[in-house]
Amino acid sequence: MPTTAAFLGHGNPMNTLEHNRFTEAWAGLGAAVGTPRAVLAISAHWYVGATAVTAMAAPRTIHDFSGFPPELFAVEYPAPGSPELAAEVAELVRPVPVGLDADGWGLDHGTWSVLVHVFPEADVPVVQLSIDARRPVEYHVDLGAALAPLVDTGVMVVASGNTVHNLGRIQWGADEQGADWAERFDAATTEQLRTAPADLARLREHPDYPLAVPTPDHFLPLAYVAGIAAARGVTPEVLVGGCTLGSLSMTSYTV
């Protein structure tokens, strides 16, 4: 079955400019899927108290970070938007209310730092879906399942976050290593996705969850891909795996 959805562990924003085994895997994914009708992106960095979609024809590139070199701030990802897809998303998930954001947001670095490798020509329309910070994991899994029919219409879902994301425990210099607790939780996440993606919320019971997921923003994008996998009866596969800097998982999955 061709890839219809992916969760990409985006990690450091500098991955935008770098070439490593993670960015190479993202580029390989884009080459394999061809040109979808559009991308529905779910980024850890649009984490607000509502469910909304970008509904403008030309979303802006948001540089939502600080302390990085000028080259990163110079990156633009001028993909077109799709008000039509935004309306489709809102209709699909009813009765969940979805705000149509025509001028407020855009594409943040959680989205464009990976898409610059997946679709480097920026020629695929992109609509971004917010993460409702008020809702639990189960809500987001269910919303992902509700969105599953989109993939039959040529839309690729690209969720971007990190299954392990603890900036307070970063170990500079540990380029391709994770702390023991990070590696354990990363492996547990893969096992959960392989056995019962609909029950992703069970990972809250894992003893390493508090360290791996000190805040849910980077973990919740995975729930959408888990929901799509459950709805379609398919098993997520690891696209590329591994931890870095001690406390970040770069593991990516495809459905």
CATH of the domain at 193: 3.40.830.10
Antiparallel, parallel or unpaired: β 155-161 and 38-48: parallel
**What pLDDT is stored for residue 2 in this prediction?**
66
Interatomic CA distance for residues 143 and 96, integer angstroms: 9
Q: What are phi and psi of 129, to 5 degrees?
A: -105, 130
**What pLDDT is stored for residue 74 in this prediction?**
97
Entry pTM: 0.96
**Residue 77 belongs to what domain range?**
5-254
**Which spans in the chain are helix H?**
21-33, 70-73, 83-92, 109-118, 137-147, 180-195, 209-212, 221-232
Please give the average pLDDT of every successive group of 10 residues along the chain, which has 255 residues: 86 94 97 96 98 98 95 98 98 96 96 98 98 98 98 97 96 86 98 98 98 98 98 97 96 98
Interatomic CA distance for residues 10 and 251, integer angstroms: 9
Interatomic CA distance for residues 220 and 181, integer angstroms: 19
Structural domain total, the chain = 1
Please say whether the beta carbons of 47 and 161 come within 8 A. Answer: no
